[in-house]
A and B are shown apart, each in its own frame.
Chain A
Amino acid sequence: MTSAADIRTRFRERGFVVDDAFATSLEIMLALQKPLLIEGPAGVGKTESGKVLAEVLEARLIRLQCYEGLDAMAALYEWNYPRQMLHARLSESTGATIAQREAEIFSEPYLLRRPLLEALTEDRSPVLLIDEVDRADEAFEAYLLEVLAEWQVTIPELGTIRARHRPHVILTSNRTRELSDALRRRCLYLWLPYPSLEQEVEILRARVPGLSERLADRIAHLMQVLRGLPLQKAPGVAESLDWAMALMSLHREHLDARTLEQTLGCVLKVHEDRSIVVEHRAALAPYLADAPAASEGGGYGLATDFGVGTVLPGR
Chain B
Amino acid sequence: MYPFGDLPGNLAAFCGVLRREYGFRLGPGEINDAARVLQRIDLTDQQHVRDAWRTILSSSRETAIAFDRAFDAFFFPGPSGSPQERQPRTERAVSKSDAPTSAERRLAEQGPHTADDADDDDTGRGAPSDEMADDEPSAEEPTARWERARYSALDVEGVEPLDVRPVSPAWRDAARALVRRLQLGLSRRWQSAPRGRRFDLRRTWRASLQTGGEAVTARWLRRVHRSPRIVVLIDGSRSMIGTQGPALDLAVALAGVTRRVEVFAFSTALTSLTLHARRAGSGRLVKVFLNRNTWGGGTSIGASLRTFLQRHGERHVTRETLVLIVSDGLDVGEPEVLRDAMREIRRRAAGITWLNPLLETPGYEPSSRGMVAARPHITTFAAVSDPEGLARLARIVRLRR
Q: How far is the CB of B143 from chain A (nearest CB, A)?
A: 29
Q: How far is A309 from B40 in the complex, measured between Cα atoms in Å?
A: 52
User: Does A232 lie within 8 Å of B344, measured CB to CB?
Assistant: yes
Known: A31-B37, A32-B37. A24 touches B205 (CB 8 A): no
**Interface members, chain B 112-159 (any A CB < 8 Å):** 122, 124
Q: How far is the CB of B31 from chain A (nearest CB, A)?
A: 13
Does chain A have a CB within 8 A of B306?
Answer: yes
Task: Indicate which residue in B25, B51, B187 contacts A21 across the interface (CB closer than 8 Å).
Answer: B51
User: Does A4 lie within 8 Å of B48, measured CB to CB?
Assistant: yes
User: Does B36 lie within 8 Å of A32, measured CB to CB?
Assistant: yes
User: Does A68 lie within 8 Å of B189, measured CB to CB?
Assistant: yes
Does chain A have a CB within 8 A of B11?
Answer: no
User: Does B202 lie within 8 Å of A178, measured CB to CB?
Assistant: no
On chain A, the residues within 8 Å of B58 by CB distance are 189
Does chain A have a CB within 8 A of B217?
Answer: no
Does chain B have a CB within 8 A of A280?
Answer: no
- The interface of chain B, by Cβ under 8 A from chain A, is 25, 27, 30, 33, 36-37, 40-41, 47-48, 51-52, 54-56, 58-61, 63-64, 122, 124, 187-190, 201-202, 205, 209, 212-213, 306, 310, 314-315, 318, 344
Q: How far is A21 from B122 in the complex, measured between Cα atoms in Å?
A: 18
User: Does A73 lie within 8 Å of B212, measured CB to CB?
Assistant: no
- 22 A-B pairs with CB atoms under 8 Å apart are A20-B51, A24-B51, A24-B52, A28-B37, A28-B40, A28-B55, A32-B33, A32-B36, A39-B60, A68-B189, A69-B187, A71-B189, A84-B205, A89-B213, A98-B212, A176-B314, A181-B25, A184-B59, A189-B54, A189-B55, A189-B59, A191-B64
Binary per-residue interface labels of chain A (162-180) against chain B in the complex, 1 for a CB within 8 Å, 0 otherwise: 0000000000001111100
Q: How far is A2 from B42 in the complex, measured between Cα atoms in Å?
A: 13
Instruction: Known pairs A175-B314, A189-B54; list 5 more (Cβ under 8 Å).
Output: A24-B52, A32-B37, A37-B59, A84-B205, A88-B213
* Residue tally, chain A, CB below 8 Å to B: 48
Task: Indicate which residue in B188, B202, B318 contacts A176 across the interface (CB closer than 8 Å).
Answer: B318
On chain A, the residues within 8 Å of B56 by CB distance are 28, 32, 188
User: Does A28 lie within 8 Å of B52, measured CB to CB?
Assistant: yes
Does chain B have a CB within 8 A of A258?
Answer: no
Q: How far is the CB of A7 from chain B (nearest CB, A)?
A: 12
On chain A, the residues within 8 Å of B63 by CB distance are 189
Does chain B have a CB within 8 A of A78?
Answer: yes
Known: A20-B48, A181-B25, A232-B344. A69 touches B188 (CB 8 A): yes
